[in-house]
Amino acid sequence: MSSPTEMLEAEHRVIALIVGAAPVLISKIDEGGPVDNSLLTGIVEFMRLYADKCHHGKEEELLFPLLAEKGVPMHGCPIGGLINEHARGRVLVKGLDEAASALSINEADDVARGRLITNLRGIADLYPGHIWREDYMLFPMTDKILGKEEQDTLYAAFQKVDEGIGSQVIERLVRFAKSI
């Protein structure tokens, strides 16, 4: 991995593991199966730390402002739409967390079970298209706009984000995603 966009694409592959598990979880929960609260807690933690703080943080705090300096508008396509999708993801993860918490108190809570399914389905519906837009629109555009020196500087800044979260935390979250 030598470029910032390759780093972000590699993170997408890990996020896709969690997103890909969502429909399976939905089916089990929809069929009335037991809710694995530790699994849901792990998904919430993964989405908040890895997908949002680590991945989206790199994009929103570093990549998008750099692209804006190069003349890419922050509102509209593609950046404005991607920021809106990040915000939508945060709402879905918050709803997932609240529903999982309610079910940990009362597993027979049908309203919470329904909210759990709704938020998991929202995540499963949102992220594949979001990842595609970044991989096939944003990142190729980024590679054309940013020169080698800018990419190297951005890559180093991305590594600092990872260091701030902690390599052990990131490795644990990646192992969790692969275990699903």
CB contact at 8 A, 24 and 174: no
Mean pLDDT, residues 13-31 taken together: 95
pLDDT band at 118 (very low <50, low <70, confident <90, very high): very high
User: Is the per-residue pLDDT at 167 higher than 70?
Assistant: yes
The share of the chain scoring above pLDDT 70, in percent, equals 99
Instruction: State both tokens at 40.
Output: 């849901």
Task: Find the range with the poorest average confidence among 20-24, 72-76, 115-119, 151-155.
Answer: 72-76
Angle at 135 between CA 81 and CA 46, to 5 degrees: 80
Residue range 163-173: average pLDDT? 97
Summarised one tens digit per residue, pLDDT across range 131-141 is 999 999 999 99
pLDDT at 1: 59
Distance CA 169, CA 15 (A): 15
Number of domains in the chain: 1
The string of DSSP letters for 127-173 reads HHHHHHHIIIIIHHHHHHHS-HHHHHHHHHHHHHHHHHH-HHHHHHH
Question: Does 150 score more than 90 pLDDT?
Answer: yes
Given a contact cutoff of 8 angstroms between Cβ atoms, the answer to whether 22 and 177 are in contact is: no
User: pLDDT over 90 for what percent of the chain?
Assistant: 88
Using alpha carbons, select from 149, 170, 144, 146 the residue that is nearest to residue 159: 170
Q: What is the pLDDT confidence band of residue 107, given thresholds at 50, 70 and 90?
A: confident
Domain residues for the domain of 34 are: 4-179
Average pLDDT of the chain is: 95
Tens-place pLDDT, residues 44-55: 999 999 999 999
Alpha-carbon torsion, ordered 75, 5, 13, 118, to 10 deg? -10
What is the model's pLDDT at position 33? Answer: 82
Alpha helices in the chain (DSSP H): 4-30, 37-46, 57-58, 64-69, 79-105, 110-133, 139-145, 148-165, 167-179
Residue 25 sits in a domain whose CATH number is 1.20.120.520
